[in-house]
């Protein structure tokens, strides 16, 4: 059996966290939790209900009353998971450009982070979970058994997001996508609460020029090393 019970994967947007985290959880038989989807869910519902994104108190109040559920895929349409907000399937809606434009602001609100972080910690306490986000190893579960930080150049990440949008049939422009990516990186890294950064004990993996299979192989190798160290400590 794999030894790390809680695996934290952090990194900036489009670094490969969702893809690698989902595949890894599937291979390990672990729960997969994309915490970013929770912030996106709050953002989408706020936009849909006409809640002013700039009103921190209103958005926080919405986060407190919303029921967010992330489950295994319920539809065979390429999704990694299903996101429900008060019972409504919003899996693809939370990936729309307007959500991309506002989610960093929403996720910077201390009240929203407090609400969702507690939900995430409750899930982590059950163990056997691969959790991805931007502050998992530093804030949500700093005592995770394994912390990985995936990264890539902003140009490569913008290219991935641009192709993803085109594949879904959305209108997209690479230069606009790159500008949005740089803006989001700046907001995520400079926010006062839980800024984006690698935990001191995280193992960093640059995914530039690596295929999905290659990145997954690297991460699985890291897990094998952790397994060996834990085994040695358990049975010296």
Query: Which H or E run contains 68?
Result: strand 68-71
Q: What is the value of pTM for the model shown?
A: 0.84
- What fold is seen in the domain 6-220? Rossmann fold (3.40.50)
Neighbours of 206 (CB within 10 A): 16
- % of the chain with per-residue pLDDT over 90: 75
- Would you state the pLDDT for residue 225? 86
Q: Over the stretch 131-181, which tens digit does the pLDDT of each residue have? A: 999 999 999 999 999 999 999 999 999 999 999 889 888 889 999 999 999
- Would you state the pLDDT for residue 70? 87
User: Is 231 a residue whose pLDDT tops 70?
Assistant: no
Residue 79's pLDDT band, with cuts at 50, 70 and 90, is confident
Burial class, 13, CB count within 10 angstroms (exposed 0-12 / middle 13-18 / buried 19+) = buried
Cα(121)–Cα(119) distance, rounded to whole angstroms? Answer: 6
Q: Over the stretch 122-131, which tens digit does the pLDDT of each residue have? A: 999 999 999 9
**For the chain, what is the HEC assignment?**
CCCCCEEEEECCCCCCHHHHHHHHHHHHCCEEEEHHHHHHHHHHHHHHCCCCCCCHHHHHHHHHHCCEEEECCCCCCCCCCEEEECCEECCCHHHCHHHHHHHHHHHCCHHHHHHHHHHHHHHHCCCCEEEEECCHHHHHCCCCCEEEEEECCHHHHHHHHHHHHHHCCCCCCHHHHHHHHHHHHHHHHHCCCCCCCCCCCCEEEECCCCCHHHHHHHHHHHHHHHHHHHHHHHCC
């Amino acid at each position: 059996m794999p030894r790390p019970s809680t695996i934290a994967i952090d990194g900036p947007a489009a670094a490969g966290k969702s893809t690698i985290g989902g595949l890894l959880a599937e291979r390990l038989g672990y729960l997969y939790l994309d915490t970013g989807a929770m912030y996106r869910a709050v953002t989408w519902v706020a936009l849909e209900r006409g809640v002013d994104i700039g009103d921190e108190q209103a958005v926080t109040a919405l986060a407190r009353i919303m029921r967010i559920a992330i489950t295994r895929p319920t539809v065979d349409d390429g999704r990694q998971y299903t996101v429900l907000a008060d019972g409504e399937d919003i899996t693809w809606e939370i990936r729309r450009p307007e959500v991309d434009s506002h989610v960093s602001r929403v996720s910077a609100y201390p009240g929203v982070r407090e609400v969702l972080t507690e939900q995430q910690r409750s899930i982590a306490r059950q163990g056997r979970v691969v959790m991805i986000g931007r502050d998992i190893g530093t804030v949500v579960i700093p005592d995770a058994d394994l912390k990985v930080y995936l990264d890539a150049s902003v140009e490569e990440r913008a290219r991935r997001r641009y192709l993803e949008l085109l594949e879904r049939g959305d209108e997209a422009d690479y230069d606009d996508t790159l500008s949005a990516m740089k803006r989001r990186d700046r907001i995520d890294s400079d926010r006062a609460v839980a800024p984006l950064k690698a935990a001191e004990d995280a193992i960093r993996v640059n995914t530039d020029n690596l295929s999905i299979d290659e990145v997954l192989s690297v991460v699985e190798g890291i897990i094998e090393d952790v397994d060996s160290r834990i085994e040695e400590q358990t049975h010296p």
